[in-house]
Structures are given as structure tokens and as C-alpha cells.
Amino acid sequence: MALLFPIPFERSGQIYYETVGFLVLLNAMLGIGWNIIGGWAGQFDFGPSIFFAIGAYTAALLSIHLGWNAWLALVGAVVVSVALCAALTYPVTRLRGHYFAIATVAMWMIAQPIGATWQLINGSQGLFIPVAAGGTFVHGLLTLEFPGRGKGLGFYYLSLLLFSATLLGARAIERSKLGFYFRAVRDDQDGAEAIGIDSRLYKVIARCLMAAIFAAGGTLYGFWALAVFPDQVLEVNWNILPMMAAVVGGLGRLWGPVLGAIILIPISQLMTATLGAGPLAGRGIDLIIYGAVIMLIAGWRPNGLLSLPWAEWAARLRGRPAARPAKG
């Protein structure tokens, strides 16, 4: 279904919905990344957009100044983000709970003036990514350069590719010893350390995995926007939306961020397009309604929408009773 989603809109010319699909997949991917540190390792990180920005800036610099292919630039961005994440995270891994969360907020606050004033990245004037004229759709997939109308369709499928790779990678981590160690640190850090699990090491690993995913997402977004500005890539929504997607869908569940993004991002785009423009523009009505929807979902299902009895409902639709656990 995801493969066929943009085709009707491409044929009808309603390419706005391709952009909505792109943003859903991008935020679902970021939500999976945040879920590794926040859901599995139990460390709430309120500054993941740092690595989104590092990825976007690194890839743009490598592409503009060194002429790297976009995919090579993406790999370079991931490597740089992971290295910086390890260096920044290890000193604060002694902190627990809200103290760790406050430290991540402080990192994000420090990153904002750096992004706005550092001459290497052109400060608040930002960086502009050039696009070669002409080229086929396949060439665009290989270079992340889509001049013309095929841009929306191309970036939708690129985001689907990166999302699928992220989901499969997260699934493998969840079922591995690494995932077990993350959950052990989350559930009882002292108990985990008592059986020989180095909690500081696994906090760093969890955050580095998140940083890699955010860096890849930042690279994709930068090439989609063809520009990287500090107030664009360090914007608070890149901190909040992936986290909300994970919480609304089901914190600590593999598909939780995906379900959350499928619900929240279209609502956000719909509210912005209908209530954030025209005579109601600037009044914040779209944000009020969006916030109310999130509050209703969170109040109704505090454990996430995946805690609903989906298996039972599916069984009823198939006309057979749901399987019940044996008593004993």
C-alpha cells in the first residue's frame, strides 16, 4: 500500500499529498530512532534535533565544497553525527531520569547560537544545495537531485527506502542482546549493573543509534529543501514530533512511532493548511485543535494506541473469536 500511495496523486497533479507522505515517513523514521533511546533504554532525550542538524549540515558541506555524491555525503553525515554523539553523551551518562533530560535540553539550547553564528556553516544565512539541470528519475534516486515535477514522488520513495531500512534495523536490535541490555537498563539500572551490564556504555550506544537515524533524516530533509538553515533544522518540532509519535503510538513498541506518525502528521498538515491560512492565519487555532487532539489521545490511551485490542478486533472482522491465553 505504501508503494502505491503516491501514484494517484502524481497522476492527478495533487503533489501536496506526496509531501505529506514524505513527512509521515520521515517522522516515523525519526520516531523509531527516538524510541531506541526513549522507549527501550528509558532515557528521555529532548534534543535529538542536534543530530538532525549535524547530519543536514555535514552532508550539505560535503556536497557543496567537496562535490560528494549525496549518498556518500549521507554516510559521512552519519559517521560525524555518531562520533559527536558519543563524545557529547558519555560525560552525561552518569545522570539519570530528569537530570539526563535536562542535559539534552541544554545541549540543544547551546547548539542554537552556534548554528546561527558559526561562519563555517554560514551562520544564519544558511547553506544552499545546488541541483544539476536535467537528469532522469533514476538519476535523481542516485543523486537526490530531482529537478522538476518528479521531486515529490522521488523523495517519497527515498523516504520510504530509509524508513524501511530503519524499521528492519530496529527490529533486529529489538530482538538482539543489545535490545535486551537497553531494556534492562531502563527497567532497573542498578540491577543491570549488578549482573555486569555497563549502563553508561549502553546509554551511549542507544543515543548513537538514534543520532545515526536523525543524521540520515536530516540529510534527506536538507536535499529535499535544497537549503539548510539553523532555525529550520534545529526547530523544536524535530525534537517534539518524533517523541510524540512514539508516545501516542506506543512507547517502547516497534510499530508505535509508525502508528503515531501516521495519525499526528496528517492532522498537523491538515490543521496548518485549513486553519493556519486565510482569515484565521496567525491566531493559533490550528495549534490549539492539534494540541487538543493529542491530549485526547494521550488521556484516552496513556499506554499508546497499540495497547488497544487490535488482535481481538481483527479476529471479529474475520468472523472468529480471538484466542485467549490458557488458564493455569
- Rounded to a whole number, what is the largest CA-CA distance in the chain? 69
Q: How far is CA 275 from the centre of its chain?
A: 25
Radius of gyration of the chain (CA): 21
Cell readout for 316 is 471479529
pLDDT at 328: 41
The SS3 assignment for 136 reads coil
Spell out the per-residue pLDDT of the chain, length 328, in tens: 788 888 887 777 778 889 999 999 999 999 999 999 999 999 999 999 999 999 999 999 999 999 999 999 999 999 999 999 999 999 999 898 889 999 999 999 999 999 999 999 999 999 999 887 667 888 888 888 887 778 889 999 999 999 999 999 999 999 999 999 999 999 999 999 999 999 999 999 999 999 999 999 999 999 999 999 999 999 988 999 999 999 999 999 999 999 999 998 998 888 777 766 666 555 667 667 777 877 887 778 777 888 877 677 777 777 765 555 554 4
pTM score, whole prediction? 0.91
What pLDDT sits at residue 292?
81
Query: Which pLDDT does position 295 carry in this prediction?
Result: 80
Which domains does the chain carry? 6-265 (1.10.3470)
pLDDT of residue 310: 67
Residue found by looking up cell 533504554 in the block: 41
CA 68 vs. chain centroid, Å, equals 24
Per-residue model confidence (pLDDT) at position 324: 58
